[in-house]
Structure formats: structure tokens, C-alpha cells
Amino acid sequence: MKRLLIVLMFVSPFSFADIGDVHYCKTLKDIRINKDGSLTSYDTVAFNFKEDEDVIDFGSTSLIDTSLPHKITRRIAGDIHAEHSFARAYFSIGHPNRNTGQLFWSTSFPSYMRSFVAECEKFD
């Protein structure tokens, strides 16, 4: 019985991210791969995003083009998949009982591809 309670605590829907949560993030690695194969690395940037019912709202940041909404396509055990025509984002909860996670983001155009990974913390 004790083991069952522990398992339920870890998979409880109350321990995952909720709609309306604001996450504060800092990039760990941010790179651009150009058409000619050259790489560009970018400095660490802090930003935040809000999880709305049907989109991830990145607000105003120079890191991500926010002219198109990142529509949420899937939610799986607190993880969020969102995309638009040119970019995809995947937010993964680090541990259900902590307020941390990682955001993976990528976009591609005919002349380059850009991706970053960021550590995020939920603001309570």
C-alpha cells in the first residue's frame, strides 16, 4: 500500500505543469547551422514562456520569432509539444515533484537551421 501511494504521488496530475504556469528559462546551448555548414553559437539568454490552453506564449523576446503562435499539439504526462509552420518546441518536465524542466526549440529556413535547449523553472 505504501508503494502504491508513492507511485501515485509521482504520477499525480497535480504534480505536473498546469495551464497558466509561467516558466523562467535560460539557454544552455543555442546554435545556428548555416547552409554552408558553418556554425554560429549564441550567448546565454534568459526568457520566459506561459503555458496557455492551446498555445505556448513566448511573449516578447528577441530569441524566438513570435509572429506565429506555437500551437500545442500534444500534452503527455506534463510534457508539451507545440509548433507552427517553421518551428517546434518541446517542454519536458525534469521531475514531477520539482518545478524544473527543459525546453527544446528548433526552426529551419532554406538558408539555416537554429536550435536551442534551455533550463526552465516554474514561477509559483
Closest CA to 79 of 102, 97, 57: 102
Give the tens place of pLDDT for each residue, 64-116.
888 899 999 999 887 999 999 999 999 998 765 668 899 999 999 999 999 99
- Going through 1-124 in order, the beta strands assigned E by DSSP cover 22-34, 39-41, 46-51, 55-57, 70-76, 79-83, 87-93, 100-109, 112-123
- Which DSSP symbol is given to 15? G
Q: Which residue has the higher pLDDT, 28 or 77?
A: 28
Among 1.10.3470, 2.40.128, 1.10.1060, 1.10.10, name the CATH number for the domain at 2-123: 2.40.128
CB within 8 A of 71, min separation 6: which ones? 54, 55, 82, 83, 84
Q: What is the pLDDT of residue 15?
A: 42
Closest CA to 115 of 87, 81, 74: 87
Whole-model pTM: value is 0.80
Rounded to an integer, what distance in angstroms lies between the CA atom of residue 94 and that of residue 104? 12
Residue ranges of domains in the chain = 2-123
